[in-house]
Structure 1
Amino acid sequence: MVSVIITTHNRCNLLDRAIQSVLNQIYKDFELIVVADGCTDGTDSLMKKYESEKRIQYIHYSPAKGGNYARNKGAQNSRGEFIAFLDDDDEWLPEKLELQVAKIREDPECVLVYTGIRVVYVNECIEYSSIPKANGDLSKVLLFNNIIGSTSTPLIKKSVLDNSGLFDEQLGALQDYDLWLRISEFGKVLVIPKEMVNYYNYTTGKQVSAITDRYVDAIAYINKKYSRRINNLSPEEKVIKESCDYYLLANKAMRNNNKKLSRSYFIKALRVRFRLKYLIYYVFTFTSYRTLLKFRRYI
C-alpha cells in the first residue's frame, strides 16, 4: 500500500483539488492522510464531506507547527510500504502512482522514483514542462542541484525513510532538498520522464526579502550538514557547487521581486564560474519576472 500525505495550512480553497487528484488515481491501493497544520479557515468543514471515505485519515491540531512537522506527523501515522507527499496547492495526474509503483518494484536497489512536472505560474498565466532524465546513483549530482524537485513528485520506500530520517524541522527552506540528499545515499533513484504533477506557483508581485534570507540560511545549514560529502569533491566540482548555490539564490531573489539582490547573486555566480545561462539570466533581471518565465520555457 502507498501512504499519501497532504499537509495543509489555511488553503481549503485549493485543498479539495489536491484530494480529488489522489482519489482519481488509477492505482487504488493507497491511504490518504491529510494533516491540517493549525488551520483556522474552512478546512475542518471541507474534510467533513470525506468522513465516509475509509481511505482518508484526517489529523488536525493547533497551533501551527510548520510544514516539516506536519509532513513528519503524517509519515509517523502512515501504514504503507511506500510514501508519497503532495502539497495542498498541487495536483497529480491519474497515472502517477501506478507508474511509480511499477518502476520502484523493477529494481530492488531503487529507493525513490520521481517524475516530471508541469510548472504553472498562475498569476503570470505561463506554463512549461520540466522533464528530468537523471537515474541511478544521484548522491553526488544532488550536491549541485535539486534535480528531484518538489515534495509532490517522489514515491519513497518507507523503510528507507526509517533509516534516513524524516524532514529536518530546523530548516526554514529547502527541506525537500535536504531529505533527497539523505535518501540518495541509500540506493538508486529512478525517474518517470513524463509530466505527472501540476506544480502551481502563486507569486505576489511584492518584494519579499525575508524569504530569500531563509534560503541563504538554508544553504549555509545544508553545506555544513553535508560538509563531509562536499569536502570529497574535486576542486573543479567545488567551484561548480559554489556557482550553483549562487544561481539558486539569484533565482529565488528574482522570484521574490528583489532584482538588485538577484543581480548581485548572478554576478557572484559568473565570477566563480562563467556560464552563458547565468549571463542571460542576469540580463533578464532588468526586465519583469514574467518575461524571464517566458524565456525559461525554451531552455
Structure 2
Amino acid sequence: MNRLFPYPHISVVMPVHNASATLSATVRSILSQSERDFELLLIDDGSTDQSLAIMLRLAAVDDRIRVIAHANCGVAATRNKGVELSHGQLIAFCDADDLWHPEKLKLHRALHRADHNCAASYARIAFIEPEARNALDARTTSTIVNTPLKVTDLLGENPVCTMSNLVVRRAAFERVGGFRAGMSFAEDQEWLARAAFLGLAIRGIDEVLVSYRLSHDGLSVNLERMYAGWRDLATDYADPSGVQAAEAIYCRYLARRALRSGASAATALHYAVRGLRLDARAFLTDAKRGWATLISALVAPFIPRAARIRVFA
C-alpha cells in the first residue's frame, strides 16, 4: 500500500492470557474491519493454554498480525509493551474475548480526522452472553456522553466501560503515559481519569461498535476487586467534596453489573444498599439507572438466577 506515512495508520494492541476459547473469534472480528490500514499486535502474557499456538497460526495467514510473547506480568504492562512496539498514529485496544463491529476502526478514524482536538474516542457497547456470536444477540447496550468526558463521568459509571472500546492518538498516549503497572481491575479507568484530568478530549461515537462478553464465573470476586481499585483511583482523582456521591454512583454501576451478569442476588443488593447509604440523591439521580437498579436489586432475591440473567440489563 502506498502512503506517505511508512507504517499502518492504526495499531491494534491486544493482550492475551489464556484466551484460547475466544481468541480466534475476536481476531476474526478485527481482520474483518472495513478499514484495512492497520497492524494487529497480539501480546501473549504468559499463557498456559493454547493461546500462543493459536496466535502463531493466525499470524501465518495474515501479515498484518505481529505476535509477541513474554512472561506473565499483567494486563497493564502487557498493553504498555504493545504500545511501545506499535507504529500507528492511532492506537486501538481490544481484549481477547470481545468482538468488534466491522465499521469500528473506520468510524474512529473518521472522528479523529474531523476533530484534531479529539485525543481519544469510544463508542457504545453491546453486552452479550459468553457464547454469543455477535451484537445481534445483545441483551442491552451502553450509552455515550454527548460532551468530552470529565473525571466525574469516569469515576461514576464510566461510559467507556472496557479497553476494547478505546482508540487513542499516539501523541495523547505519550503525554498521559502508560497504564499503571500492577493494576488489574481499574487500570483502564485510571488511565482515562488521568487523561481527563490533563484536559484531553475523550469523545463518544453514538454507534454500537463493540460486543462485550459478560462473564458469570467469579464475578462477585471481580466486582470486589473493581471496587477496591476504584477506591484507590478515587484517592488520586475524586474531588473530596464529592467523593461520596461519586462512590454512590459507582456502587450503582456495580449493582447493575451484578444484575446484568448473573452474580448472586445478595451481591447486587449489597452494592445498591451501600450506594444508597453513601448518597441516596446521587444514586437515584438518573431514574432509569437509579430507581430501576434499586427495584431490580430488591426483587432479585425472589427470582431464580437463570431468569435474572435473562431479565435484568
In the alignment, does 2:127 pair up with 1:115?
Answer: no
Deviation, 1:131, is 4.2
Corresponding residue for residue 200 of structure 1 = 213
Is 1:211 equivalent to 2:216 in the alignment? Answer: no
Q: 2:84 aligns with which of 76, 83, 92?
A: 76
Shift of 1:251: 4.3
What is the aligned residue count?
A: 288
Aligned partner (choices 178, 181, 194) of residue 193 of structure 2: 181
> Following the alignment from structure 1 to structure 2, what is the Cα–Cα distance between the partners of residues 91 and 246?
27
Q: How does 1:17-166 map to 2 (within 5 A)?
A: 17-49=25-57, 50-51=59-60, 53-62=62-71, 64-122=72-130, 127-139=138-150, 140-166=152-178
Question: 2 CA distance for matches of 1:257 and 1:279?
Answer: 15
Query: Residue 152 of structure 1: SS of its match in structure 2?
Result: helix
Superposition pairs for residues 235-250 of structure 1, below 5 Å? 237-250=242-255
Q: Deviations over 1:33-78 (max 9, x none)?
A: 000111122223223332353321100123x212112111111111
Which 10-residue stretch deviates more, 32-41 or 261-270? 261-270
Three-state SS of the structure 2 residue aligned to 1:17 is helix
Is 1:280 the counterpart of 2:295? The answer is yes
Using a 3 Å threshold, how does the CA distance of structure 1 residues 210 and 180 change in structure 2: closer, same or farther? same
**CA, structure 1 residues 253+145, in 2 after alignment: closer, same or farther (shift >3 Å)?**
closer
Question: Which residue of structure 1 aligns with residue 287 of structure 2?
Answer: none
Equivalent residue letter for 2:250? D
The answer to whether the 8 A contact 2:120-2:167 is kept is yes
**In structure 1, C-alpha distance between the alignment counterparts of 2:131 and 2:66, rounded to whole Å:** 33
TM-score, length-normalised on structure 1? 0.86
Q: Deviation per CA, 1:262-294: give whole Å up to 9, x if none.
A: 323211222321522342132143134544444
Give the Cα–Cα distance (whole angstroms) in 2 for the partners of residues 289 and 14 of structure 1.
Answer: 24
Query: Which whole-Å deviations, capped at 9, do the CAs of 1:5-37 have from their partners, x for residues lacking one?
Result: 111112223111111111111111111100011
In the TM superposition, residue 202 of structure 1 has moved relative to its aligned partner by 2.9
Answer with 149-158 or 163-172: which moved more: 163-172
Q: Is this contact kept in 2: 1:269–1:278, CA < 8 A?
A: no
Counterpart contact for 1:209–1:256, Cα < 8 Å: no
Distance 1:129 1:252, change over 3 A: closer
Change (3 A) 1:278 1:52: closer
Partner Cα separation in structure 1 for residue 56 and residue 65 of structure 2: 11
Report if the CA contact (8 A) 2:234-2:243 is conserved. Answer: no
Sort the Cα spacing of 1:208 and 1:44 in 2 relative to 1 into closer, same or farther, 3 A: closer
Cα distance in 1 between the residues matched to 2:168 and 2:224: 30
Matched to 2:174, the amino acid is: D
Question: Which shifted more, 254-263 or 109-118?
Answer: 254-263
Is the partner of 2:94 in helix, strand or coil?
A: strand
Structure 1 residue identity aligned to 2:234: N
1:174–1:218 CA contact under 8 A, matched in 2? yes
Q: Which runs of 5+ in 1 are unaligned?
A: none
Letter matched to residue 66 of structure 2: Q
Quote the RMSD (CA, aligned, Å): 2.4
How far is the alpha carbon of 1:260 from its aligned partner?
A: 2.8
Unaligned regions of 5+ residues in structure 2, if any? Answer: 1-8, 285-290
Give distance in 1, aligned partners of 2:94 and 2:201: 22
